[in-house]
């Protein structure tokens, strides 16, 4: 139940009846009220219109207000300040929203229309290098956006574009042939691959002959040398298996894992085609796409084939777009990748535009979006590193989060069986790491703090999980069966206390908040909303008895509890966070 659009429709009818000379293109906007003391929703339509018609905004507002018919939805608007229209929902509208949350499989959130075919490109770590906290942001944000888009009814394809064909393979091949410890590889393949990569990397810095040897291995690999290809394939498979375990712990999955190597055969013909269409041209032996007309990129051509014939990251990304259009008819492609790659994506998007203008690909190319994010900082405000100066590894972060969460569970609920404690610790620990990420604006460089992310009070996942657990325990204590919400008449709900209406008002906004996440790809809007909702729930629960309430108020209050729990669980689910039964 989307109240802003319902009010908007009635407002549009009022405009027609108002006798004002409304321009055909005029569309009144309705938004949630800033200050709920004056109403639930507001519109600046009268002011915008008065400006266009050159008349008095308050008089315009009053003409609209008297023509407005709100029915069961809302009262006639009140006029405030220079001509704002403030709308207050009627109790029947709130009750209907509550009933929708309780009985509708989508909790009243409307289906996106029209649904779009969206490819979400996220996580995409590089093979044989560990996934570090830099990739964690992309993984967590991308997963949340994909879940949200799916929930809204879009056709989503997730694709893990792993870096399985970079120049790092020169080093890995050389390391494999000279440094590999077979036993260590057997025991922990990802760690052993990382060790040889790091050692060769250090040697390369000191010794030019090692650099040459690595380069030779890379050239041989690219030329199809069978031995090198075999080693490469083994490394990729080992890495994928290691990554898979990590994604399982995070409860993240992909429809496809089409890494960079998947596009190798497409690169040469792609470059030839771009040359033939005059989109790309030769420059000092290399092939580049120039953006002479583009204000920001005029001096920044995109290199797609080096003078030695090698292809680049950008070439692969262009070939990947072709594939995603051919194979999945992508209408949108979202790249959830850190802000440092902004230039890269600007160049790619502009190249696609130029190629389309030259007749390449479909008449309407997909909408391409770089959904950038900032970094995660340590307490010293510098990029987060381990004590030895290495990048922090995601697996270690998760281990630590779970260990710390286990201690919290131990303290709060020492009598639970050990297996359940482990399960709860994992749900809380992983949830905390995810929520710390998703509650930030994605562009913020945020400071990683264990204390903050695991606190039971504060802007944390454990706080939200605990709110749901608390409601679940109310229903466990209920004597007799839980009410059957589908059989209940929503008009029988009654709410008197201020804390009840505040909670109700927030619940009714869930249907607006979920779609708003995709406007600017901001999961923190949902995270912030859930925190507000949990706060309102606790205030309600402190002010109003539920199980001990009189019969007349009891069912309505139980409905508020059940709806809050549903919204918390659905909302956390969209953030990729699970909720335990107890904690």
Contacting ligand ARG within 526-565 (CB under 6 A): none
User: Minimum distance between the CB of residue 69 and ligand ARG, rounded to whole angstroms?
Assistant: 52
Phi, psi for 463 (deg, rounded to 5): -65, -45
Between CA 335 and CA 326 the distance in angstroms is 18
* SS3 (DSSP) at 285: coil
Whichever of 200 and 258 has its CB closer to ligand ARG, that residue is 258
Whichever of 213 and 347 has its CB closer to ligand ARG, that residue is 347
Part of the chain binding ligand ARG (CB under 6 A), chosen from 123-131, 178-186, 219-227, 483-491: 123-131
The answer to whether 331 and 367 are in contact (CB under 8 A) is yes
143 binding ligand ARG? (CB under 6 A) = no
Write the CA distances from 480 to 384, 475, 547, integer angstroms: 53, 10, 12
Cβ burial, residue 290 (10 Å; 0-12/13-18/19+): middle
User: Minimum distance between the CB of residue 541 and ligand ARG, rounded to whole angstroms?
Assistant: 44
Q: Omega into 474 within 30° of 0, i.e. cis?
A: no
Which residues does 50 contact at the CB level (< 8 Å), separation at least 6? 56, 57, 59, 60, 61, 83
The residue within the footprint of ligand ARG, chosen from 161, 373, 406, 421 (CB under 6 A), is: 161
Whichever of 101 and 348 has its CB closer to ligand ARG, that residue is 348
The answer to whether 530 and 435 are in contact (CB under 8 A) is no
The residue within the footprint of ligand ARG, chosen from 15, 119, 124, 464 (CB under 6 A), is: 124
User: Minimum distance between the CB of residue 163 and ligand ARG, rounded to whole angstroms?
Assistant: 4
Number of residues interacting with ligand ARG: please give it, by CB under 6 A: 9
User: Minimum distance between the CB of residue 360 and ligand ARG, rounded to whole angstroms?
Assistant: 19
User: Minimum distance between the CB of residue 262 and ligand ARG, rounded to whole angstroms?
Assistant: 12
466 binding ligand ARG? (CB under 6 A) = no
121 binding ligand ARG? (CB under 6 A) = yes
C-alpha torsion sign, points 43, 44, 47, 49: negative
Whichever of 197 and 335 has its CB closer to ligand ARG, that residue is 335
Whichever of 132 and 406 has its CB closer to ligand ARG, that residue is 132
267 binding ligand ARG? (CB under 6 A) = no
Between CA 86 and CA 37 the distance in angstroms is 10
126 binding ligand ARG? (CB under 6 A) = yes
Cβ burial, residue 385 (10 Å; 0-12/13-18/19+): middle
User: Minimum distance between the CB of residue 138 and ligand ARG, rounded to whole angstroms?
Assistant: 8
239 binding ligand ARG? (CB under 6 A) = no
163 binding ligand ARG? (CB under 6 A) = yes
In eight-state DSSP terms, residue 89 is B
Contacting ligand ARG within 310-339 (CB under 6 A): 317, 335, 337
Part of the chain binding ligand ARG (CB under 6 A), chosen from 34-42, 122-130, 150-158, 540-548: 122-130
Report residue 356 CA to chain centroid gap: 29
Whichever of 263 and 291 has its CB closer to ligand ARG, that residue is 263
3-state helix/strand/coil string of 366-415: CEEEEECCCCEECCCCCECECCCCCECEHHHHHHHHHHHHHHHHHHHCCC
Residues near ligand ARG, by CB under 6 A: 121, 124-126, 161, 163, 317, 335, 337
């Amino acid at each position: 139940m989307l109240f802003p659009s319902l009010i908007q429709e009635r407002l549009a009818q009022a405009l027609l009846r108002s006798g004002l000379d409304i321009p055909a293109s005029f569309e009144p906007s309705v938004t949630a009220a800033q200050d709920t003391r004056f109403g639930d929703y507001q519109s600046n339509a009268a002011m915008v219109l008065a400006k266009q018609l050159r008349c008095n905004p308050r008089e315009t507002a009053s003409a609209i207000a008297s023509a407005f018919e709100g029915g069961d939805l809302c009262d006639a608007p009140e006029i405030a300040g220079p001509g704002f229209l403030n709308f207050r929902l009627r109790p029947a509208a709130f009750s209907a929203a509550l009933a929708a949350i309780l009985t509708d499989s989508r909790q009243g959130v409307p289906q996106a229309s029209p649904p779009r075919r969206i490819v979400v490109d996220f996580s995409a770590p590089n093979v044989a290098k560990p996934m570090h906290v830099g990739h964690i942001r992309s993984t967590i944000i991308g997963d949340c956006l994909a879940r949200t888009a799916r929930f809204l009814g879009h056709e989503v394809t997730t694709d893990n574009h792993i870096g399985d064909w970079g120049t790092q393979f020169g080093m890995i091949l050389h390391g494999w042939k000279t440094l590999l410890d077979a036993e260590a590889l057997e025991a922990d393949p990802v760690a052993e691959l990382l060790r040889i990569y790091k050692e060769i990397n250090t040697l390369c810095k000191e010794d030019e002959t090692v650099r040459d040897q690595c380069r030779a291995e890379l050239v041989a690999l690219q030329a199809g040398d069978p031995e090198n290809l075999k080693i490469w394939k083994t490394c990729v498979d080992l890495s994928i298996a290691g990554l898979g375990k990590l994604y399982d712990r995070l409860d993240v999955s992909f429809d496809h894992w089409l890494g960079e190597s998947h596009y190798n055969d497409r690169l040469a013909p792609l470059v030839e085609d771009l040359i033939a269409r005059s989109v790309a041209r030769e420059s000092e032996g290399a092939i580049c796409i120039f953006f002479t007309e583009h204000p920001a990129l005029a001096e920044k051509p995109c290199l797609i084939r080096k003078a030695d014939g090698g292809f680049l990251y950008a070439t692969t990304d262009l070939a990947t777009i072709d594939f995603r259009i051919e194979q999945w008819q992508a209408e949108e492609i979202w790249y959830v990748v850190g802000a440092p790659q902004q230039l890269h994506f600007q160049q790619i998007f502009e190249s696609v535009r130029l190629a389309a203008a030259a007749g390449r690909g479909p008449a309407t190319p997909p909408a391409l979006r770089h959904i950038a994010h900032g970094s995660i900082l340590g307490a010293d405000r510098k990029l987060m590193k381990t004590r030895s100066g290495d990048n922090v590894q995601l697996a270690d972060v998760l281990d630590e989060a779970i260990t710390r969460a286990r201690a919290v569970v131990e303290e709060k609920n020492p009598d639970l069986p050990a297996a359940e404690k482990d399960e709860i610790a994992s749900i809380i620990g992983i949830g905390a790491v995810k929520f710390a990420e998703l509650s930030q604006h994605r562009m913020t460089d945020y400071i990683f703090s264990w204390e903050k992310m695991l606190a039971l009070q504060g802007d944390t996942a454990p706080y939200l999980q605990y709110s749901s657990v608390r409601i679940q325990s109310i229903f466990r204590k209920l004597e007799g069966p839980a009410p059957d919400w589908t059989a209940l008449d929503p008009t029988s709900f009654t709410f008197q206390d201020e804390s009840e209406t505040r909670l109700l008002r927030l619940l009714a906004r869930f249907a607006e908040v979920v779609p708003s996440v995709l406007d600017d790809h901001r999961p923190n809007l949902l995270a912030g909303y859930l925190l507000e909702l949990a706060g309102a729930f606790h205030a309600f629960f402190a002010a109003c008895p539920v199980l001990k309430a009189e019969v007349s108020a009891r069912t309505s209050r139980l409905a508020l509890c059940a709806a809050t729990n549903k919204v918390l669980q659905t909302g956390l689910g969209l953030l990729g966070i699970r909720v335990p039964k107890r904690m």
